[in-house]
Chain A
Amino acid sequence: MIKEYETKLGSVKIDTERTIIFEYGIPGFENLKQFVLLEPEDTYPIMWLASLEDKNVAFPVTFPQLIRNDYQFTLPQDLTEYLELAKPEDAIILSILTIPEKEDEITINLAAPIIISQKNRKGVQYLIENEEYKIRHLLKEELERSKAILSVQKDGE
């Protein structure tokens, strides 16, 4: 069913099947349960995890592997069961960005990614227990790091 919602990015028509349910909320926004992933072409690969219940709430998100190309973690079994993830492709992994006025200060949260199940449309913000991943990484540094890894791999060929 197509329904119209007011979001931070304006009024959007959304197939209710695309609704993502954050049953346990998102830290700081526990009262909001229904979200949708908006993928406007003019901001892609930055997408927006927008609340369908509070039009002021939309988190800018992107695929963490675009920023840190060797990003990986293991989900605990209770979470893969909750999200009904039979294979890795069943999950959409996103990281929240913070984009302040200064471009050099843009950060990405690699410690607590958003995990969305394509199987049951449930979502969680999961905290990875890995000291390598912090809540604030400078986007600029991460992009440079990934670029350096890629160039080393190329040289090795």
Chain B
Amino acid sequence: MLILSRKIGESIVIQVGNRKIKLIMVEQDNGSMKIGFEAPKDIKIYREEVYEEIVKQNKAALESDVKRLGKIKTSIPKFAGKDNKQST
């Protein structure tokens, strides 16, 4: 593992092909670091444990059997039409 020492306000640049990701050390507080990111919009940045949990849940979802829905299915309301709301 590469270990670099950086001060607040300093940055690290990661280059992948011709694309760059910049990590900026913003603030340090009691052993916790605040890091800013500048990256192309299609690069997704996640907290590792959150990303791993999404992966875990997605994989667990594949084991689903809808026959197991039992009584719960009848308690899910169905509305007429495929009405999807989203706030913007």
Which A positions have Cβ atoms within 8 angstroms of B?
24, 26-29, 43-46, 56-60, 62-63, 65-67, 72-75, 78, 80, 82, 85, 87-89, 91-93, 96-101, 103, 106-107, 109, 111-112, 125, 127, 135-136, 139-140, 143
Contacts and interface: CB of A to CB of B under 8 A. Distances in A.
A21 B4 CA distance: 39
Given A73-B87, A80-B88, A24 B58 contact: no
Q: Which 6 pairs, one residue from A and one from B, show the smallest C-beta to C-beta distance?
A: A99-B64, A28-B55, A88-B86, A72-B87, A78-B41, A27-B54
A88 B41 contact: no
B69 A88 contact: no
B69 A99 contact: yes
Contact of A29 (B41, B58, B69, B85): B58
A96 B72 contact: no
Interface in B43-64: 44, 46, 50-51, 53-64
Interface string B29-42: 00000000000011
Contacts of A63: 82, 84
15 contacts: A27-B54, A28-B55, A28-B56, A28-B59, A59-B58, A66-B77, A66-B79, A72-B86, A73-B86, A93-B86, A98-B57, A99-B64, A99-B66, A100-B64, A143-B72
Given A27-B55, A88-B88, A111-B50, 9 more contacts: A59-B62, A62-B76, A82-B42, A88-B85, A88-B87, A103-B70, A111-B54, A127-B46, A143-B75
B19 interface: no
Contacts of B69: 43, 46, 99, 103, 106
Contact of B58 (A27, A82, A100, A139): A27
